[in-house]
Amino acid sequence: MKFTKKNRLRVFEGFAGYGGASFGLLKAKIPFDVIGYSDIDKEAIRIYSYNFPDVHNFGDITQIDEKGLPDFDLFTGGFPCQPFSTVGKGLGELDTRGTLFGDIIRICQEKQPSYILLENVKGLAVGKHKPTFNKIISELNRIGYDVDWAVLNSKNYGIPQNRERLWIFAYKGKFPEGFSIVPKPIELKYRLKDFLDKEPEKELYRTQKQIDRIKELHNVEQFVVEEPLCYDYYNRKLRTDAVCMTVTPPEHNVIRIVEPLKKGVEQFRKLSTNEHFRLMGFKIDENNQEIKFPPEMTYAQLGRRAGNGWDVNLVGILMKHIFSQL
């Protein structure tokens, strides 16, 4: 399907976050209009409205009157992943947030968009959560959609981040013969160092006393590297492949950057805000800033939204690939 300036893709962003679908469509250079979005997270709304001030927020998706929504062609949504994650309590459907998928079905059954793109953690499709995943697919089938899905990793599409996410694409009717949601992998030409700030803020660095304490707790003799590398605080190991572990909200406190010694002193720090978002697919440098940050937002608030967001580089590749086949 080819969209043009006269035939623009109409989009509704459910669970919109910072607008990962919109930024991805911009990356893919697909002409589109967002007829509205839905989110209740105050931090996400601040970022979204700062970047897309003319788009209306319909608020809590559970309270949306589906009959009152404008028509749209594509529903997108990264519905809350906490209940399905393999990290944490693993509550699955026992968590009431799992029922939010029912609101997606309710809205799409009424509006009948041609396309639905959903995202979640890869754990939704395996193990004890497989019955929940199968139910999601069957519900999409029930309301008239053909479904394809895949687990895609950001590091296979140009971003040095090991971020595996489940992508589900539903098409009204039947897929063309040979359709596949999986884009051709892209050789990773970049290393983590290419996504880091040239002059990180001093506040990001740990003191030698803090570093010594970490070495003691983690049984590490010394943090010595030839180039900046990611230290996985949770698993207590240094990634030597020059790829960052999965970007997560700062409260999980698991990503650290180890830099080469400076005058014989170990360098150990947190990611900056810009680094968080570069690893989520945004170009941010002195000449280009694809996402704008509300000036009043804190480091923790912005980092939380990055960790819960979409890799917009991958979204752009995925969108372009999907619509080239329809």
pLDDT at 132: 84
pLDDT score for 5: 86
- The SS3 call for residue 40 is coil
CB hemisphere CA count around 243 (13 angstroms) = 16
- Relative to beta strand 164-172, strand 145-153 is antiparallel
pLDDT score of 81:
52
Instruction: Judge whether 108 counts as a catalytic residue.
Output: no
CB 259 within 8 A of CB 226: no
CA within 13 Å, CB half, 130? 3
In the chain, the domains with their CATH numbers are 9-188+304-324 (3.40.50.150), 192-297 (no CATH)
- Find all residues with CB under 8 Å of 166, minimum gap 6, and list them: 119, 120, 121, 122, 124, 125, 149, 150, 151
How many Cα neighbours within 13 Å face the side chain of 83?
A: 17
Question: What does the alpha-carbon distance between residue 167 and residue 184 come to, in Å, rounded to a whole number?
Answer: 15
Per the structure block, which two tokens stand in for 141?
């089938």
pLDDT by 10s per residue, the chain, length 326: 789 889 999 999 999 999 999 999 999 999 999 999 999 999 999 999 999 999 999 999 999 999 999 999 999 999 875 443 444 444 544 443 447 888 999 999 999 999 999 999 999 898 888 888 888 999 999 999 999 999 999 999 999 999 999 999 999 999 999 999 999 999 999 999 999 999 999 999 999 999 999 999 999 999 999 999 999 998 999 999 999 999 998 777 789 999 999 999 999 999 999 999 999 999 999 889 999 999 999 999 999 999 999 999 999 999 999 999 99
pLDDT reported for residue 83: 47
Distant-in-sequence, close-in-space partners of 2: CB < 8 Å, separation ≥ 6? 323
pLDDT at position 86, please?
Answer: 41
Q: Are 172 and 113 in contact (CB under 8 A)?
A: yes
Q: Determine which one of 81, 108, 230, 244 is catalytic.
A: 81
